[in-house]
Chain A
Amino acid sequence: MDHPIPVTFIRLIILLPLIGATINFLAGAWLQKTFGKQAITLIGCGVVILAFILAARAFFEMLHQPPENRFMLDDLWKWFDVGGLNLDIAFWLDPLSMIMTLIITGVGGLIHIYSTGYMHDDDGYWRFFGWLNLFTFAMLVLVLGDNMWLMFVGWEGVGLCSFALIGFWYKVQANSTAGNKAFIVNRVGDLAFVIALYSLFAGLQAAGHPTLVTREVAHYAPLLATVPINFAGYQSAHQLVGFVTLLMFIGATGKSAQIPLYVWLPDAMAGPTPVSALIHAATMVTAGVYMVARLNFLFSMSPFTMGVIAVVGGLTALFAATIGIAQNDIKKVLAYSTVSQLGYMFAALGVGAYAAGVFHLMTHAFFKACLFLGSGSVIHAMGGEQDMRKMGGLRHKMPITFWTFVAATFALCGIFPFAGFFSKDEIIWQAFSHGHFVVWAFLLLGAGCTVFYMSRQVYMTFFGEFRGTHEQEHHLHESPPSMSYVLIVLGLLSVVGGWLKWPEFMVSFKPFEEFLDPIFSSEATRQVTEAGIHSHGMEAGFAIVTVIVVVAGWYFADLIYRQKTLDPARFSEMFGGVPYEWVYNKYYVDEFYDRAVVQPYLFATRALAWFDTNIIDGFVNLAARIIVFLSWLSGLFDHYVVDWLVNFASNVTYNVGGRLRRLQTGSINGYLYGILAAVMLILLARAVARA
């Protein structure tokens, strides 16, 4: 890590989407009008595919290196050097960021291609690709930034693009409101994240090594073990590391939709389906997971935070899964499923199974993107309908969509040998193995709920009789190749993607984990990861338990929704319908937030506005009035005193002049008398003087 290979092509991977975004934003409308949507397709998809090719090349170059030397650094220029904080714009490619880059450009590229079909009829085509490209750029900055501040820049950037893409069809008020909600809730997390960064830097500065470059922080992190929280001279007994990591995790709950900041993700389904697939399944929401994995050396130093992460992750996993059971919108089910699966990833990180968490991130990207795109295909065929109660029997009309959807569902449910089995079951086992029994229970139950709601979804959508209108029925068709080919690719990845990391008790083949090993090699992390039970027998046993739960869940759903032997109404009316009401209404969390946070905030806003208008503006107006009054006084002074003086002077002159004027009689006679008088006076004066 201390001697990275200097390269210069990483910047291209990041620059290409940026160039695509720039062209699409600045010239997109004109290009689309002049050359048609193909031009936008070429630019928008081309840059991402090119970036993927470059990333693949980087990957192969990395594989050629020995494991301890798989680090590449592309240092562009000095960003700033202020108060001890010396940061460059530089991009750091190590195994973790390599995997993320491949996912972003690869899955992202596939979704770009899918969008060409899905958004084909939309006039805002160029705008869509502009934002998609910009998002790709921001996400790449996030994962490839070599220092935490640059990561934060990307963090904010993806938040912005998410906001813009959720509210893409901005003419519908509800969509832009959803975008607002996403951005604002994210902001709460971002605040915590920023405070964490400042505190971290302050702590490192106190320890003598002020830096925010990630690899350097990793190097000096052990020094923070004894640094307490020091706020304006007040020293707390608690560790700084715990404080910093806790706040960072809060930031992650915002970005990655965990309790308590997950509420924006279901609303974000207002955006176009490719957006849901890319941002809210595969990449942006995984930023939090990436961040925790990247900073594992810090998190491992704080058992308290790790515990919090595990519990929150596990709770979210179960909580969201229960909500997903009762939803009728095809995308909402998947949204809650995403929240739930993110909970699994965090639970993995929290118990110390970092590699498993990142692995689930990757497999989840494959099958969740496939599921979302498949649902997009269904929505497209249904002419925009998203309510599953109006669907049914679609498997005959849309075979490709159906089979890829089923493959991805199997992956999500964790059925061997599909991808999810290797990642999700691993996490469930790791939870138990590291001693977090409650978390394990949550995760296990969550798995059961997952199977239930996914089976429900598949049966309601693709099986049975069509329950929609006649026009919808006539409109049903398979999606165009741009969409269905992508589904096939992702479906295949959902099948084989998990084969990179087999459980120990089956076979010892886990190149994925080995690839990531240098990332999780700090002392503190090693201690955490290697703790726990390492019994193959137990692992196998727990795998069987999980399988039983999964099958039970499926059977239950099968009874209700395919065989129709059990009536769902019976369950929704159980216990007076109260549990169903609660689950269907998402446990009224949004309403609670509204009452507890939003309304008081709006009230405070109005109070402050009143204060500003009446009191502050009152002062300002008072000051203005005083000044007006003073100027009126000054005007008076000017008018009466100064003007009086001036007028007086002129009046005197005028009057005296008027009087003197009379001397000019024009009468020569008078003048002669005057001369005579003057002469007389002179003579008189002389005579008197002489006498």
Chain B
Amino acid sequence: MLAQAIFYALAALTVGSAMLVAFSRNIVYSTFALLGAFMGVVGIYILLAADFVAMVQLLVYVGGILVLTIFAVMLTAGIADVTVSNRAVGTGPAIVTVGIAGLVMLYAIARTPWHQASAVTPAPTTYAIGNAFLGDYVLPFEVASLVLLAALIGAIVISRHEARE
């Protein structure tokens, strides 16, 4: 009972924030709604016994990406004009497309006999994930770190060249 309530609450938060992100006319509203969506997702993660992932989500997404996004929004918006236009164009085709895609996927979800195991007791996952990263998944781990390095350098390069001009 409680689980259901929590779940629906979190879901409502997430979906509501997402809808704000999608439909808001103000980019700043969208940005902060995104924050709400992330928070909701964190909760979902915890519900799914992914404590480490949830924390990572919180740190990286909220603390990193969202902050970055806010920076970008603030830097690119006219300072005097906070209500930046965030218009939406072509909603018709988008609704159709999304609708079709959604319906198809819904159909897939509903009709597929998902194999569900018995309920799992939530346990701390940090230790296991850490082991896995340096054990079975060491290669993707290293590659991912390379990707991050490349992204870092790339960002510096891009922003530096433009700044020099």
Contact = CB atoms under 8 A, between A and B. Distances in A.
Contacts of B89: 669
Contacts of A680: 101
A673 B98 CA distance: 11
B97 A676 contact: yes
B101 A669 contact: no
Interface in A667-687: 669, 673, 676, 680
Interface residues of B, number: 5
Nearest to A677: B97
Nearest to B97: A676
A680 B97 CA distance: 11
Interface string B85-104: 00001100100010001000
B97 A669 contact: no
A685 to B, nearest CB: 14
A680 B101 CA distance: 8
A670 to B, nearest CB: 10
Nearest to B105: A683
A673 B97 CA distance: 9
A676 B94 CA distance: 11
Nearest to A679: B101
Contacts of A676: 97, 101
A681 to B, nearest CB: 12
Nearest to A687: B108
B102 to A, nearest CB: 12
Contacts of A669: 89-90
A677 to B, nearest CB: 9
B149 to A, nearest CB: 26
Nearest to B100: A680
B103 to A, nearest CB: 13
A491 B97 CA distance: 139
Contacts of B90: 669
B86 to A, nearest CB: 14
Nearest to B89: A669
Interface in A648-681: 669, 673, 676, 680
Interface in B75-133: 89-90, 93, 97, 101
A669 B91 CA distance: 12
A680 B98 CA distance: 11
A669 B89 CA distance: 9
A680 B102 CA distance: 12
Interface in A553-574: none
Contacts of A673: 93, 97
A673 B100 CA distance: 14
Nearest to B108: A687
A489 B101 CA distance: 140
A155 B89 CA distance: 114
Nearest to B101: A680
A683 to B, nearest CB: 9
Interface in A362-376: none
A198 to B, nearest CB: 98
Nearest to B93: A673
Nearest to B98: A676
A669 B90 CA distance: 9
A676 B90 CA distance: 15
B42 to A, nearest CB: 27
A192 B102 CA distance: 119
B93 to A, nearest CB: 8
Nearest to A680: B101
A620 to B, nearest CB: 74
Contacts of B97: 673, 676
B22 to A, nearest CB: 14
A673 B93 CA distance: 10
Interface of B: 89-90, 93, 97, 101
7 contacts: A669-B89, A669-B90, A673-B93, A673-B97, A676-B97, A676-B101, A680-B101
Interface of A: 669, 673, 676, 680
The 4 closest A-B pairs by CB, nearest first: A669-B90, A676-B97, A680-B101, A669-B89
